[in-house]
Amino acid sequence: MDYSELVHALKSGETRTANRLIGEATPILRKYLISKVNASPEDADDSIQQMFEYIIPKILEDDINNPTGLLSYMLKAARHSYYKIVRDFDLDKFDEIEEQLVTEADQAWLLMNEDQANILLRCIEGLRNSYREFARFLFDYPSANTEDIADNFEISPANAWTRKHRVLKKLTDCVSLET
């Protein structure tokens, strides 16, 4: 697909056309990142956003030499944005957004029903020690909020939120494989 029209739309201030073309490119870029570099849908979306934040100023500054090859350039830039996200991932950065983090107290209990209780116990036992302790705490104190978890494990609330969701993801994946 030729995205030279996107270059023209951005340079001439045709916001509607630019938004339409970006909307058409986004699913292509997303599928590429998910299938080729195994990005999660969320990471793919973040990578695409960063890629557009990089490319749009380049277009406006006439730094794009071959507008007909823009899709290829966007694919490459999105892939590099994804690798940068993976490389630069740092739990300490979550301190900046900890006020925005929302958790549901009963999220862990959504995994359980009578048939899956034994499977869930096996999955918990299969976790490494730190995650196992974390999972047991979540099930022992289902109404614990992020700050309660942080206080119990002596970590930042952002780190507690991240670990909670990692543990729940591991347990969800394990239970799904077992059922």
Residue among 62, 35, 32, 61 nearest 48 (CA): 32
**pLDDT score for 4:** 84
Per-residue pLDDT tens for 11-47? 898 889 888 888 888 999 999 999 888 888 888 898 9
The 10 Å Cβ neighbour count of residue 174 is 18
Per-residue pLDDT tens for 106-157? 555 555 455 667 788 888 888 888 889 988 898 888 888 888 888 999 988 8
Convert 8-26 to b/e letters by CB count within 10 Å (16 or more is b): ebbeeeeeeebeebbeebb
Per-residue pLDDT tens for 65-108? 777 788 888 889 999 988 887 776 555 555 554 454 454 545 55
Q: Which residues contact 158 (CB under 8 A, 6 or more apart)?
A: 91, 92, 94, 95, 97, 98, 101
Question: Model pTM greater than 0.85?
Answer: no
Between CA 119 and CA 106 the distance in angstroms is 19
